[in-house]
Amino acid sequence: MLVPDKLFESAHSGRWPAVICLQGNDDYLRRELRDLLRAQGFDIQYKDLKRKGPESADEDLSCSTSLFQPRSFVWLETHAQPERWSEESKRVWARMVERADGEALVLCVHVSNADSEKKAGTAKVSKKDAIETGTAFRFEVLGGERKTWLERMNRKRGGKLARPELEHLLMLDAELMVLDQYVELWTLGGDTWARIGVSYVPGERLSREDEVANPAYAWVDSFLEGDPEKGIKMLSRLLKDGQDPLPLIGLLSKTLRIWSTLEAGASPRGEAPFLVDKVRRAMSSYRPRKNPSSRGGQGVDVKRGARLLDLTAQIDVWLKSRPVDAEGLLVRLTTMSS
């Protein structure tokens, strides 16, 4: 399986494989691929197949072209590995593959839920189950590849950020989509924005605890991690810089709503996928430092997100309706994050 930048290198040079298989999902790569396809005059024919393979009606996607856009990119997203499609889906796919030429038609199957499928698909696939899916690319970026993509983001904006600035961004625990926003804002706002936005001071090497993105995000992360000590440090920095408490409460509430929704077994609606995934990972790795309550409960606090969301909502009401010690309330809330 090829790394994702190989797909973009090939596409930028005009050499599209006739059939592509993407494994994994990254919002930044998804957006960049869509932008590249539009720039090269492709008509994007997209369909989410959920956990199924293509059906007879989907075959029409590989037959249509536009008078104004003679090139078609058929993007079929699925949560099921093609080897486990039904026999009828495999036959439909095979007919679609025959039409793909890499010029007028590029065919793409995107297995976007690769991790869960890998676990579910540990059984050996027989030759009978094999299916032609063309050139396979990993559609997610590993830690060691982030530098390549960060440099690409910088080049797209004129390469205004120098090596120290890029190295600073690399140390931030941020998704590619967020890093791209930082590069754009830094390019536009210069070091004045960077000092506030990503705690960057030209010529000064920050301590590891200060190597965070916006300290407001780091404060929210302390709740996900159950680390009140980190939270108090970030909160102190924010309050020292004159941060308004209400935006902080709003930022925290957004994350806690996702947490409590996932706790309830539901899927958050209208939220960025990378943020939902981040909260989900935090939930799976969270381990309380001590019993979450003195009421005799044992083990993990299964309603931790809902509990913290209720406290945050109450503080929000108090801040908006009565004269209270905002700093004291935020400190109290932060200490209850473990």
Q: What is the pLDDT of residues 92-118, one digit of tens each?
A: 999 999 999 988 999 999 998 754 444
User: Do 23 and 96 lie in a common domain?
Assistant: yes
Is 281 within a domain? yes
Is 294 within a domain? no
The CA-to-CA distance between both ends of the chain, in Å, stands at: 41
User: Do 47 and 111 lie in a common domain?
Assistant: yes
Listed in sequence order, the residues at least 6 apart from 49 whose beta carbon sits closer than 8 Å to its beta carbon are: 58, 76, 77, 78, 80
CATH number for the domain spanning 278: value is 1.20.272.10
**pLDDT value for 173:** 67
User: Do 104 and 154 lie in a common domain?
Assistant: no
Is 215 within a domain? no
User: Do 27 and 131 lie in a common domain?
Assistant: yes
Residue 184's nearest CA partner among 214, 152, 154, 162 is: 154
User: Do 20 and 126 lie in a common domain?
Assistant: yes
Is 216 within a domain? no
**pLDDT value for 212:** 52
Q: What is the pLDDT of residues 259-284, one digit of tens each?
A: 999 988 888 876 767 678 888 888 88
**pLDDT value for 66:** 56
Residue 142's nearest CA partner among 270, 269, 29, 277 is: 29
pLDDT band at 201 (very low <50, low <70, confident <90, very high): confident
User: Do 103 and 149 lie in a common domain?
Assistant: no
Domain that holds residue 13: 4-140
User: Do 75 and 193 lie in a common domain?
Assistant: no
Maximum Cα–Cα distance across the chain: 72
Q: What is the pLDDT of residues 156-187, one digit of tens each?
A: 999 999 998 998 888 876 789 888 988 998 88
User: Do 165 and 116 lie in a common domain?
Assistant: no
Tally of domains in the chain: 3
Question: Average pLDDT in the 240-254 region?
Answer: 82
CATH number for the domain spanning 23: value is 3.40.50.300
Q: With the CA atoms of 91, 96, 97 and 98 taken in that order, what torsion angle do they form, in degrees rounded to the nearest 10?
A: 100
Is the Cα dihedral 164, 184, 189, 238 positive or negative? negative
* The domain boundary residue, chosen from 96, 118, 140: 140
Angle in degrees, CA 181, 272, 316, rounded to 5: 95
User: Do 156 and 168 lie in a common domain?
Assistant: yes
Q: Are strands 71-78 and 42-48 parallel, antiparallel or unpaired?
A: parallel
pLDDT band at 240 (very low <50, low <70, confident <90, very high): confident
Residue 217 to residue 199: CA distance in whole angstroms: 12
User: Do 15 and 45 lie in a common domain?
Assistant: yes
Residue 67 has pLDDT above 60, yes or no: no
Distance of CA 317 to the CA centre of its chain: 31
Is 192 within a domain? yes
User: Do 33 and 156 lie in a common domain?
Assistant: no
Asked if 168 and 122 touch (Cβ cutoff 8 Å), the reply is no
Is 292 within a domain? no
**pLDDT value for 127:** 52
Residue 207 has pLDDT above 70, yes or no: no
User: Do 71 and 111 lie in a common domain?
Assistant: yes
Which H or E run includes 164?
A: helix 163-170
pLDDT band at 131 (very low <50, low <70, confident <90, very high): confident
Is 251 within a domain? yes
Is 219 within a domain? no
